[in-house]
Every structure is written in C-alpha cells, then in structure tokens.
Amino acid sequence: MVRVADAVRPRLARAAGIVRPRLAHVAAAVKPQAARLAQAARPQLARITKAGPNARTWQYTAGAATAGLALTAVVVTAAGPWDSSGQRTAERDRVAALGRTGGTDHGRRGDSSGTSDEAAGAPRPAPSAASVLTGLGALGGGGGDTVKSAPRALPTGTGLTGVLGPLLGDPALGAQHAAAVVDVATGKSLYGAGAAQALTPASTTKIATAVAALSAMGGEHRFTTRAALEPDTGELVLVGGGDPALTARADADGRASLRALAASTAAALKKRGLTRVTLSYDTTLYAGPQIHPIGVNPNLAPVTALSADEGRTDGSDSGPTTRVGDPAAEATTAFGKFLEAAGVRTTPPGPSKATTRAQSVATVSSPPLSSLVERMLTNSDNDIAEALARQTAVATGVRADFAGAGKAVLAQLKKLGLPVAGARFMDGSGLDRRDHLTANLLTALLVKAGDPRRPDLRPVLTGLPVAGFTGTLSSRYADGAAGVVRAKTGTLTGVNTLAGTVVDQDGRLLAFALMAAGTTDPAAAQAALDKAATALAGCGCR
C-alpha cells in the first residue's frame, strides 16, 4: 500500500496543480453571475415565504427547482467550454494531468520516424477520458478501477423470447432468420434462435475482419508507403505498403499524403544531384487477382497494395462510385506530377519490383490501425476491409490474396477461442455471398471486443455506427433507439443483417446479432431489424 501511495502521490499533485487554478477560475466566473441570480430570485422567494406556514409544498419545490436549475446553468457555462468531442475542457485537462493520452488515435505512442502526422505538423491526438467500458472490468478479476454492472437481474430467455419472438416472425425477414443476445459484462448467452446456423452475413463480416486485424497487428500498427531508389540504375520505385487511406488530395485530413511523400522524395533526390529519374511502382505486397469475385463494382476498387483515395473518381470519401481501372498506375502518375512540380522530371510509370538493395529515400505512414478500423466500420468501407484482410495475411505469413486473407482471418478468430463452427470467409468486406457466419460468432466477437483484458480490440465497439447519428445508421432509428443502439449493418440482395450493442432499460450492455436471408423488400427488412433492436433497448425482459 505504501508503494502504491508513493506512486500515486506525484500524479495527484500534478492533477491538483492543474485543477486548483481552474476551480478558482470557475469560482471567480460564477460569483458575479450567482449574485445576479440571487438578486433576480429574491422577489420570487419573498413572495413564496409571504404565503406563510400554510403555503403548499409545491410552491417551495417549484421555487427551489427554478433557482437550482438557473444556478446549475450558470455553473456549467462557467465551467466550460465544451470541446468538439463533447468533453469539457476542465475534464480534458485533468485527464492530461493524469498522464492519459489517446483521443481518436487510441493512445498512439510518439512517432520519431519523421513521417507521422505529428511530424508533419498535424495536431497531437487529444487526451481522452478513461474508457467508457471500464464497467466491464469485472471480467478481468480484481483491480479497483471498475464500475459495477447494473445491479438488477439479467434479462431472461423467457422475457426475451416474449419480446423478440413476435418481431423476428415478421414476414419481412424472409424464410430464414437467426438471432442471438449476450450480456457483455458476463459473457452469458441470454437468447438464441437459430444462433448456430451459418448464414450470409453481408457487411457484418467486417466485424470479424476488424477483430482479426487488430489481434494480428495491434491498434498502433501503421502501413508505410515509400519511395526507393535503385543505386545501380537510378530507378525510383514507389513501393505500395497496402495503406487503404493513402491520399493524393491537397487536404490529407490526417491521412498519409502522396504530395508530402513527393516533396520529401524530391528534396532527397536533389541532395544526390538527381533531377530526372525513371519512375516505376511496386505492388508485390499483395498476390493474386485484384478484382473481387463479384467483378468490377462501384462498391470496391481493384484490391492492390498501392492506391490513392480508393481509386475514386469523384472526390468522395465513402459509398459507391466509379473507380479507376488501375489504382496503382493512377497513384504513381499523380506522384510523378507532384515530383515534377517539385523540380524532378520522371518517365511515365510502369510496374516493377524494388530490389533488396533499393534505398528508401522518403516514407509516409497511415493513421493507426485502430483509426482505420473505426472508419471501416462506421462507413462500411469495403476498400479498407479488403486491405485489412490482406494485411492480416501478410502479418501472419499467409499468401495475401482473397483466399489467403479469408484463411488468415479465420485462423486469428480460432486463436482467440471464438466459436467459428460453420464460419467461412471468402473476402474481408462481406460482398461475397459465399461468406458464412453465425449469430453466435457475431455476438462472441462483440463480447471479445468488450473484454477489459483485450483493450486492443476496443475500436471494434467504438467504430460501430450510432443509431440516428453516424455512418450507415445516421438515417435510421429516427423514431426508435437513437443514440442507444450501436451496430454494423449488412445488406445484399435478399440478405439483411444487424449486429452490435445496445444498452437495455436496466443499463446493461447487451451484444446482439440479427440475421435474415430470403428477404424481398430491403427497406421493410431493415425496419423489422431496427424494431427488434429498439425493443431490446426498451426492455428489462425478465
């Protein structure tokens, strides 16, 4: 205990040093406003007290409530401001005093490579508050930094059957459907209907891809694109590192920039006395066909280790759109133009492979994997999904093609001890109808992501779209559990799925998976799934 106290004391002192002046500032800011409030409230309080001993209780209550609410408003305003993430500045600074970092980059460590966003002048990640999922710490066994689970009893199978049964019987859900509900804090299965039956998961496949990639590489992993100079021939090779977020746009918005890479490369070449080079590109990190088994499709660019802006032709960031036919050639052509603008002339680019003797002259790295996972899940980004599946193959020594990526994802889930019976992965995005998952596996993936012993998997939960607010759920749940349900959607012709988390009426965090096959009206099927998730949010189900 003495060692613990000695370890904690310096942090408490630092926290007090930061909090004390802010409290003084708040008090100073509140004092004149509180005085004005008291001045305004005095006549009303006088009228209440004049009513004498027979005055009704509600008069006192109303008066006190009015004054209390007004004073609260003053204090909250003075204690602000609130930042863009919804965290009060004072809270943010206190967290900084305690030494926690992270924000949207999930605690990334300092990067001394000189190629990170931070090195390029981008802001450091905002400090973040303690994890909202520390309440799940009961699973870890021991430790004082936990919040107890909701005290009430768990939902029962009978209660859930009574609520979900009629909703899942909706004809809009087609001939086959499956469902599972699990308590995240305890891992206890609460409800299952066809939960062990493997069905086409559509885009809920991305949950499995995310868990596999994070477990194989870690949330801090980054993908590097580099320019390599062959010492014998003077050939400059743009080597693709499989970064699905690489951009050629002027506003990189935190992503690795081809423009920045070109500027650094040009400077390095000029130091060597080179102002003209033969330009080529290397995509050999990945193997096999680039075109997805579904064929050319606006939902996905050809899968290659080198691509800028996902091969999009319209400036969009997400959703279906026309893609370029050869993303690597297009990216390298853009890179060549940026080099020429910086004073280095190039030949038209062609495919090649950098030798082991090639010297890297400049590099840029992607945002951390945790950020890419969140973006993939929120926007249902197929390009990121296929890249992460192949990167999982690369990281585990498996051939990085569609088949190898599927094998690598399945192998990672097996290592985690997840129920993979009946599971089959033909891609990482869920566009392939031959993919098969069970509702049991989907809920197990979500429970694993909430395990306090696996903080590396937390982006799987934080990346889920929020009902009525973000990503693929932004236009759904307008009349339902907006803000309470977080879930990954899945839609193919005749297939509708939904898997995520929901906070029930008693405050318990539940993982759920709803799968439907043979649907004929996608809008009606989506509505039926949303009703079921909303029912979970509104029930104690005992």
Paired tokens of 102: 């992270």
Q: Which helix (H) or strand (E) holds 211?
A: helix 205-217
Distance of CA 69 to the CA centre of its chain: 36
Catalytic option among 116, 149, 206, 264:
206
Asked if residue 307 lies in contact with residue 244, where contact means CB atoms within 8 angstroms, the answer is yes
Q: Which of 116, 307, 380, 429 is catalytic?
A: 380
Which residue is catalytic, options 128, 149, 203, 307?
Answer: 203
User: CA 466 to CA 473: how far, in whole Å?
Assistant: 6
Q: Token pair of 266, please? A: 């040009």
Q: Given the structure tokens 């990346």, which residue do they identify?
A: 463
Catalytic residue list contains 206:
yes
What tokens appear for 69 in the block? Answer: 């609410």
CA distance 48 to 60: 7
Of 110, 128, 101, residue with least CA distance to 462: 128
Active site (annotated) includes residue 370: no
Q: Residue 332 gets which letter from DSSP?
A: H
Assess contact for 89 and 71: CB atoms under 8 A: no
Non-local CB neighbours of 135 within 8 Å, separated by 6+ positions: 146, 147, 148, 149, 185, 509
Say how many C-beta atoms besides its own lie within 10 A of residue 324's C-beta.
18
Task: Quote the CA–CA distance of 462 and 107 in Å, as a whole number.
Answer: 14
User: DSSP letter string over 436-485?
Assistant: BB-HHHHHHHHHHHT-TT-GGGTHHHHTSPBTTTSGGGTTS-TTTTTTTE
Q: How far apart are the first and last CA of the chain?
A: 43
DSSP string, 168-228: HT-GGG-SEEEEEEEETTT--EEEEESTTS-B--GGGHHHHHHHHHHHHH-TT---EEEEE
Contacts of 483 (CB under 8 A, 6+ apart): 466, 467, 468, 469
Please, what is the angle between helix 369-379 and helix 205-217, to 10°? 180
Token output for 46: 């006088």
Contacts of 199 (CB under 8 A, 6+ apart): 176, 178, 436, 437, 438, 439, 495, 497, 515, 517
d(CA 439, CA 433) in angstroms, rounded, equals 16
Taking 3-state DSSP, the helix, strand and coil percentages for the chain, each rounded to the nearest 5, stand at 40, 15, 45
Evaluated on CA atoms 133, 472, 400, 232, the torsion sign reads negative
203 is catalytic: yes
Closest CA relative to residue 509, chosen from 141, 195, 135: 135
Catalytic residues: 203, 206, 380
